[in-house]
Structures are given as structure tokens and as C-alpha cells.
């Protein structure tokens, strides 16, 4: 503490300059009956060295995925963040700034965010992107409320939104919390046995305010039928697609097949998993939704000398101006993490992101090949095309498998029973660009042994 407070020891001098004698004088306005008289019942202060030692001990007790053969993903993906990103993002000018209310001294971050908007816009194939929201889940939720504001009047199914039934319960819960106050009714958009959208369900959604579906879906499946959704649901129903942005290095941008709003978890670009946060949510849309978007947006403009400059714009949507009529309560967001994303994307370039997507696809391909050789492991969607992850059926509970394989240093995937009880025997196996060939061998060997034991 003593190294953090520059005015320690100068209190008397400063107080006397104001005509006070004690710190208590500065708190004389706190009524006696609400004063805290005792010391806080907390530990004493530590030095930097002691804090580092404790952090090493505690964080050292966590098990980093790199120390195992890990195949867990389910929405967060192991990646490699280039060294330059970490070096640059801890520059104090970025790290210790706040929302660029004073544009003249915030051009660096404003320009970087304007560039981020351009990178995302190009990636997803839509003309407008904001400078990020909290995460992929709140992005999905905010997209739905945005769509309801835009289509509320003309939609024939008032306040109704269809959400893919494969959306994981935690994300569904976020969406529910964000939408329940607006009188929005969430209905399930059904999928067929093979994991693709049920065309009958899509037809039912015509005239609703929005449909929300993910590509690849939460089980890693790519669904070509999404290219026909917009034609089916029609002009007055927003087609919202949640993406894994890395997949777009290889696969079509949803904006090019009719998506009105594209959202997603930006994390694979620029951010480690970090136990689930801070990460950042992508939000992009077509012009019809622009004035109902949540969050901050940077525009390019000019200064008094007609030089190029940047500033926050479309601010009249926001809470500090519009208050309870704002499009969202969003204020503090994930700018710095989005900046890391922009840095990563600018290093990758179009060819680099394609290579990255191919590496992810190849790693999963290698995993699938290895799993195919394991007796007792079956594909849940044998005809499907997958990206990053695949659901497999085991001869016993996935939870038991995960527990058993730990002794072999293998975390074989995510227990899909946690999403749905009828999937208790299913494992979601994830591979990314960071998956190692030796990890795959260990997975196959350990799984083979476990399956043999279970079947016997």
C-alpha cells in the first residue's frame, strides 16, 4: 500500500491547507448511525513480492489445458495469440484510457476501433459492426432485442423469436434474462435428427420478429440449409446468425447468404480463454438495424482543419443520452479485448485467417480419424460436416469417461449431459489449431481402453 499512495505522510499538511485537523473532518457528513467504527475485518496489506508468490501458488494449483491432452471447447477455444499482441496491448496509452469521450486525445483507440469495425464487417459480410459487446451470449441476446425493436410493428407473430433448440442452456439463460422484460416470447427452432434445421420449423418462424441460429452450431455442425432461411422467413423477420469467427476464414460469411445480424464469440481472435472472461462479443448488422444497435460505434469524420479524425457516433441510441429509452444499458464494454482481436486479425491477413481455419479443420479431421478407429465410439451425426468440434456417442456416461481419462492426462471433451440429460452418453470433442498430434494419440489410446472396460 505504501508504494501506491503518493500522499501518505502528507495528510496533515493537506488537511491544514483546508482548515481541517483530521481525516474525520472529511467524513463529518456521514451520519453517526451509518458510520463504520471498527476496522474492516480483513487481512493486512501485502507487498508486490508477496502477492506474486501467492498468485503463483494459487494459479499454479489450477490445471492449465496445455498441461494435458485437452479436447474441451464448447464455445471457448485454445488458440495462439501472437506475441506482438500482448506486447502492444499493455501499452499504458491503451490499457489505462477510458471510453474516448474526448476524441482529440483518444484518436489512437478510436481509429483502432474503427478499423476493428471494418475487419469484422468484412469478415461477416455486413456493412456495420459495433466495437464489441460483452461476449457471444449477450451479443445474441442484444441482437434479439434489437430485431424486436426493428420488426415489432410489421411482424405477424408479435414479440415472437425463434431460437435454435441446440443453443446451450447457459446461453439460452442469458437470452432469457435479456428478453423477458420486453415481453418477448422465445420459441424453439427445431433441428432434424441429422442436426440440420427442420425446414418445417423454419417455415413456422416466418413472420416472427427474428430467428437465431448458430453456424457452426453448438455441436460443431455446419448446416448448408442456413443459406435458404432468409428466403423462407421473409423481409420482416430478422435472420440472426451466431458464428465462430475463425470458421469464416474458410466458410461463407453469413451476411452473404441473407443474415441481417451476425453475432459471435470473438475470443479465438486475440484472446486466451481466461477461464471465460474477459472475452468479447461480435455484433454486426445491415443498415436497417443500425440505429437500433446496442453499444458504442466509431465514425470517421474531420476536425476543425478538415483533417481525418474519428469519434463515437450514433450516440443518441445510448444510455447516457437516451436513459431508459436507450437501445441497451451498455456502457463499459470489452474494448481492450476487441483491440487484441484487431491486432491478431491484422497480423493474420486474409491468407493467414484461411490458414488458421484450415488448421482447425485439419486438427478435427485428425481427431475424427483417430476416433473412428476406437471401438464403441459412434458419431452422433455421421453424415455431418463439422468445424472445431464433433459430438460422439460413448458406450457409457461421458462424465465417467472424463473422470477415468484424467489418470491418463487426457481431458477428452465436454460432457453433453450437462446441456441435456438425454445426451448423457455424448461427448463434445474439440480440436483447434493448438491440438497436438501426440494429444490425439493419447486420446485414442485412453478412450480405447476405457470403452473396452465399459463394454466388458
Burial zone of 220 (CB within 10 Å; 0-12 exposed, 13-18 middle, 19+ buried): buried
User: Which residue is it, cell 443459406?
Assistant: 227
The correct pick among 256, 375, 420, 452 for binding another protein (CB under 8 A) is: 256
Binding mask 266-305 for another protein (x = CB under 8 A): ------xxxxxxx-x---------x-----xxxxxxxxxx
The smaller minimum CB distance to another protein, of residues 230 and 296, is found at: 296
| In contact, 454 and 426? CB cutoff 8 Å | no
Question: Min. distance of Cβ 289 from another protein in angstroms?
Answer: 13
Question: Min. distance of Cβ 199 from another protein in angstroms?
Answer: 16
| In contact, 419 and 452? CB cutoff 8 Å | no
Interface region with another protein, contact rule CB under 8 A, candidates 84-92, 147-155, 197-205, 444-452: 84-92
Question: Min. distance of Cβ 152 from another protein in angstroms?
Answer: 15
The smaller minimum CB distance to another protein, of residues 7 and 421, is found at: 7
Question: Min. distance of Cβ 306 from another protein in angstroms?
Answer: 9
Interface region with another protein, contact rule CB under 8 A, candidates 169-177, 191-199, 231-239, 448-456: 169-177
Residues 234-253 that bind another protein (CB under 8 A): 248-253
The dihedral region occupied by 191, where left means phi > 0, alpha psi between -120 and 50, and beta the remainder, is beta
Burial zone of 319 (CB within 10 Å; 0-12 exposed, 13-18 middle, 19+ buried): middle
Residues 28-47 that bind another protein (CB under 8 A): 28-31, 33-36, 39-47
Residues 185-214 that bind another protein (CB under 8 A): none
C-alpha cell at 338: 476487441
Q: Return the SS3 of 19.
A: coil
DSSP annotation of 191:
B
Contacts (Cβ under 8 Å, ≥6 apart) of 199: 225, 232
Question: Min. distance of Cβ 169 from another protein in angstroms?
Answer: 9
Q: Return the SS3 of 1.
A: coil
Question: Min. distance of Cβ 80 from another protein in angstroms?
Answer: 8
The smaller minimum CB distance to another protein, of residues 192 and 358, is found at: 358
Q: Rule CB under 8 A: is residue 168 a binding residue for another protein?
A: yes
Contacts (Cβ under 8 Å, ≥6 apart) of 181: none
Angstrom CA distances, 40 to 1, 43, 44, 117, stand at: 16, 9, 10, 46
Residues 384-443 that bind another protein (CB under 8 A): 385, 387, 402, 406, 411, 414, 418, 433, 435, 437
Q: State the Cα–Cα distance between residues 85 and 174, nearest whole angstrom.
A: 30
Using only the alpha carbons of the chain, give its radius of gyration: 25
| In contact, 226 and 257? CB cutoff 8 Å | yes
Residues 329-368 that bind another protein (CB under 8 A): 329-337, 339, 343, 345-356, 358-359, 361-363, 365-366
The smaller minimum CB distance to another protein, of residues 156 and 274, is found at: 274
Question: Min. distance of Cβ 123 from another protein in angstroms?
Answer: 5
Q: Rule CB under 8 A: is residue 88 a binding residue for another protein?
A: yes
| In contact, 71 and 443? CB cutoff 8 Å | yes
Return the half-sphere exposure (C-beta side, CA atoms, 13 A cut-off) of residue 246: 26
C-alpha cell at 286: 445491415
Question: Min. distance of Cβ 238 from another protein in angstroms?
Answer: 19
| In contact, 284 and 129? CB cutoff 8 Å | yes
Burial zone of 349 (CB within 10 Å; 0-12 exposed, 13-18 middle, 19+ buried): exposed
The correct pick among 224, 373, 452, 455 for binding another protein (CB under 8 A) is: 224
Question: Min. distance of Cβ 456 from another protein in angstroms?
Answer: 26
Q: Rule CB under 8 A: is residue 160 a binding residue for another protein?
A: no
Backbone angles phi, psi at 303, to 5 degrees: -100, -175
The smaller minimum CB distance to another protein, of residues 436 and 455, is found at: 436
Residues 116-145 that bind another protein (CB under 8 A): 117-119, 121-123, 125, 127-129, 131, 134-138, 145
Q: State the Cα–Cα distance between residues 178 and 96, nearest whole angstrom.
A: 30
The smaller minimum CB distance to another protein, of residues 207 and 399, is found at: 399
Backbone angles phi, psi at 222, to 5 degrees: -95, 135
Interface region with another protein, contact rule CB under 8 A, candidates 92-100, 156-164, 187-195, 389-397: 92-100
The smaller minimum CB distance to another protein, of residues 204 and 345, is found at: 345
The correct pick among 153, 193, 323, 422 for binding another protein (CB under 8 A) is: 323
Amino acid at each position: 500500500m505504501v508504494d501506491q499512495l503518493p500522499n501518505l505522510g502528507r495528510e496533515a499538511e493537506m488537511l491544514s491547507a483546508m482548515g481541517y485537523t483530521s481525516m474525520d473532518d472529511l467524513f463529518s457528513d456521514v451520519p453517526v448511525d451509518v458510520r463504520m467504527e471498527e476496522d474492516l475485518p480483513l487481512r493486512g496489506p501485502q507487498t508486490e513480492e508477496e502477492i506474486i508468490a501467492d498468485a503463483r501458488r494459487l494459479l499454479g494449483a489450477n490445471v492449465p489445458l496445455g498441461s494435458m491432452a485437452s479436447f474441451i471447447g464448447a464455445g471457448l477455444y485454445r488458440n495462439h495469440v501472437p506475441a506482438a499482441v500482448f506486447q502492444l496491448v499493455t501499452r499504458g496509452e491503451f490499457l489505462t484510457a477510458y471510453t474516448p469521450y474526448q476524441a482529440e486525445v483518444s484518436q489512437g483507440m478510436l481509429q483502432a476501433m474503427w478499423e476493428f469495425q471494418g475487419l469484422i464487417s468484412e469478415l461477416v459480410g455486413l456493412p456495420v459492426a459495433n466495437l464489441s459487446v460483452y461476449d457471444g451470449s449477450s451479443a445474441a441476446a442484444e441482437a434479439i432485442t434489437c430485431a424486436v425493436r426493428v420488426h415489432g410493428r410489421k411482424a405477424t407473430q408479435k414479440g415472437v423469436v425463434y431460437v435454435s433448440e441446440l443453443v446451450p442452456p447457459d446461453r439460452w439463460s442469458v437470452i432469457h434474462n435479456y428478453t423477458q422484460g420486453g415481453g418477448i416470447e422465445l420459441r424453439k427452432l427445431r433441428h432434424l435428427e441429422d442436426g440440420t434445421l427442420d425446414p418445417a420449423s423454419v417455415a413456422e418462424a416466418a413472420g416472427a420478429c427474428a430467428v437465431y441460429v448458430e453456424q457452426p452450431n453448438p455441436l460443431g455442425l455446419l448446416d448448408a440449409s442456413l443459406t435458404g432461411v432468409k428466403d423462407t422467413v421473409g423481409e420482416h423477420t430478422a435472420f440472426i446468425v451466431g458464428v465462430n469467427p475463425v470458421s469464416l476464414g474458410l466458410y461463407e460469411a453469413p451476411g452473404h447468404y441473407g443474415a441481417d445480424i451476425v453475432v459471435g464469440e470473438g475470443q479465438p481472435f486475440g484472446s486466451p480463454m481466461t477461464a471465460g472472461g474477459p472475452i468479447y462479443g461480435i455484433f454486426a448488422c445491415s443498415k436497417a438495424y443500425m440505429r437500433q444497435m446496442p453499444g458504442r460505434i466509431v465514425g470517421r469524420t474531420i476536425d476543425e482543419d478538415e483533417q481525418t479524425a474519428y469519434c463515437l457516433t450514433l450516440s443518441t441510441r445510448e444510455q447516457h443520452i437516451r436513459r431508459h429509452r436507450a437501445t441497451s444499458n451498455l456502457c463499459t464494454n470489452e474494448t481492450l479485448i476487441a483491440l487484441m482481436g484487431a491486432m491478431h486479425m491484422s497480423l493474420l491477413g486474409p491468407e493467414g485467417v484461411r490458414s488458421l481455419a484450415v488448421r482447425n479443420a485439419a486438427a478435427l479431421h485428425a481427431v475424427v480419424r483417430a476416433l473412428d478407429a476406437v471401438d464403441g465410439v459412434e458419431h452422433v451425426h455421421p453424415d455431418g460436416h463439422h468445424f472445431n468440434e464433433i459430438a460422439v456417442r460413448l458406450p457409457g456416461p461421458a462424465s465417467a469417461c472424463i473422470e477415468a481419462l484424467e489418470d491418463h492426462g487426457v481431458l477428452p471433451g465436454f460432457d453433453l449431459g450437462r446441456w441435456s440429460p438425454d445426451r448423457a452418453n455424448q461427448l463434445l470433442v474439440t480440436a483447434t489449431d493448438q491440438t497436438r498430434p501426440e494429444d490425439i494419440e493419447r486420446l485414442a489410446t485412453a478412450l480405447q481402453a476405457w470403452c473396452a472396460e465399459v463394454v466388458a
